[in-house]
A and B are shown apart, each in its own frame.
Chain A
Amino acid sequence: MSDFNPNIRAFCCHYTSQQASSDHGEGLKQAGFPGNVVLDRLTCTGKLQVSTLLAAFEQGADAVYVVGCPPDGCHNVKGSQRAAKRVGAVKKALAELAVEPERVRMYHLERGLHPEFVAAAREMDTMTRALGPCPFNGESR
């Protein structure tokens, strides 16, 4: 299990990740952002559908997380609150399928590049390594 390099997908709103993506991710890498976390940039996390998060698991993700604006400071007013609800729905669905609900998570962060953005990715990475491969992928690994 020690060579397990989790496949992690992060869905971030444009505002939260804008500086993170501005220099092709170089700044992020230097700040210690794990290389196994694939960023998906969205115009707003409120646009994220439950089915998109589930599709990430179908495509082999071991964990999926969403980063949106603080609930009371969303650029699109309620976008990140909607996203949090949908993450909640996916948590429930994972639990129904007897898969650890921690494999999906919502973060509310201030916009721009800041240590918390990197810390969130590292937290997901550490947690996923501890959990091991997602049971959806268990058979194929």
Chain B
Amino acid sequence: MIIAERKPVAEILDMVRDAKKILVLGCRGCVTVCSAGGEREVEILASLIRLGRKKEGNPVEVAGATLVRQCDKEYINSMDQWEGQYDAVVSMACGVGVNFIANLRSSTRVFPAVNTSFFGGSVVQGEWTEQCAGCGDCILHLTGGLCPVARCAKSLLNGPCGGSQDGKCEINPQVACVWQLIHDRLESLDSKEQMLRVAPIRDWRPAGHGGPRKVVRNDLTV
């Protein structure tokens, strides 16, 4: 799932400095699950924007709403119900939602309320960690299911860098060295010989270095 975090209120207030009527628009997808941009967070941010502007002696009208998703054209189309009612939309969706509104609504001024952080999961309530970097050429079958592209600070593909100590990464001792984890897991699965494999030089184009990526499924298009 996409993990995001709300930007500081001052930064958001600055973006919408000139707006008189604002729509804070949440998303019921990933950002609801990671408690960054769902219905509750919309209510909170709407309140904070109103309070911030009241304090400046420049009160503003702020309404809140959520879309099922902001990464699908059909849901963005449902924004037509607010046509002409707001002079700024503050999107609490991930960056995809902001892009979609910008792509599809040429006259709508849209601003991002969250920082889109990474693809991750929640191991304990209230804590999320990065697990996948969306590199487009998955190698998890070679690494026991643990991702060195996303979870090794250097994205190494042929084993640890040599700086790992007591199973911790040399870049951040709070984080497990994923190559240590890969080694231990392959050993417990009786597949330690996988460590001896030399990864071929990787083509990073599908990882985003070849420009924006695109997936087309001919079985789904009409």
CB of B211 within 8 Å of the partner chain: no
| C-alpha spacing A49/B10, complex, angstroms | 22
Nearest A residue to B56 via CB reads A139
Chain A to chain B contacts (Cβ below 8 Å), 10 pairs: A54-B48, A55-B47, A58-B50, A93-B9, A93-B48, A96-B9, A96-B10, A97-B55, A138-B57, A139-B57
Say whether B44 contacts A50, CB under 8 Å.
Answer: yes
Taking a contact as CB atoms under 8 Å apart, the answer to whether A97 and B51 are in contact is yes
Kindly report which residue of chain A lies nearest to residue B50, judged by CB atoms: A58
A136 in the interface (beta carbon within 8 A): yes
CB-CB under 8 A from A139, the residues of chain B are 54, 57
What residues of chain B lie closer than 8 Å to A15, measured between beta carbons? Answer: none
Contact of B51 among A49, A50, A58 (CB under 8 A): A58
Does A119 count as interface, using CB distance less than 8 angstroms?
no
| Chain A residues within 8 Å of B52, by CB | 97
Q: In the complex, how many residues of chain A place their beta carbon closer than 8 angstroms to a beta carbon of chain B?
A: 17
Whether A57 and B51, one on each chain, are in contact in the complex, defined by CB atoms closer than 8 angstroms, is: yes
Question: B48–A97 contact, CB under 8 A?
Answer: yes
3 closest cross-chain pairs (CB), A and B:
A54-B47, A51-B43, A139-B57
Chain B binding surface, main DSSP class: helix
Binding site for A on B (CB under 8 A): 8-10, 40, 43-44, 47-48, 50-52, 54-55, 57
A54 to B10, CA, bound (A): 16
**Is A127 on the interface with B (CB-CB < 8 A)?**
no
Main secondary structure of the interface of A (DSSP, over half): helix
A51 lies within 8 A of B47 (CB): yes
Evaluate contact between B9 and A136: CB separation under 8 angstroms.
no
Query: Is A32 located at the chain interface by the 8 A CB criterion?
Result: no
Are the C-beta atoms of A136 and B51 separated by less than 8 Å?
yes
Closest B residue to A138 using CB positions: B55
How far is it, in angstroms, between the C-alpha of A57 and the C-alpha of B10 when the chains are bound? 18
Judge whether A135 is part of the interface by a CB distance below 8 angstroms: yes
Q: Hey, which chain B residues are within 8 Å of A138, CB to CB?
A: 55, 57
CA A51 – CA B54 in complex, angstroms? 16
Check: A130 CB closer than 8 A to any chain B CB.
no
Q: Cβ of A96 and Cβ of B44 under 8 Å apart? A: no
- Give chain B nearest CB distance to A6 CB in angstroms: 17
Alpha-carbon gap, A51 to B51, bound state (A): 12
| Chain A, Cβ-Cβ closest to B43 | A51
Tell me the bound Cα distance from A49 to B46 in angstroms: 14
> A58 contacts B47, CB within 8 Å?
yes
The CA-CA distance from A135 to B44 in the complex, in Å, is 19
Decide if A77 is an interface residue (CB 8 Å cutoff): no
- Please report the C-alpha to C-alpha distance between residue A55 and residue B54 in the assembled complex, in whole angstroms: 13
Question: What's the minimum C-beta distance from B22 to chain A, rounded to whole angstroms?
Answer: 15
Which residues from B are CB-within-8-Å of A96? 8-10, 48
Within 8 A of B (CB), among A115-141: 135-139
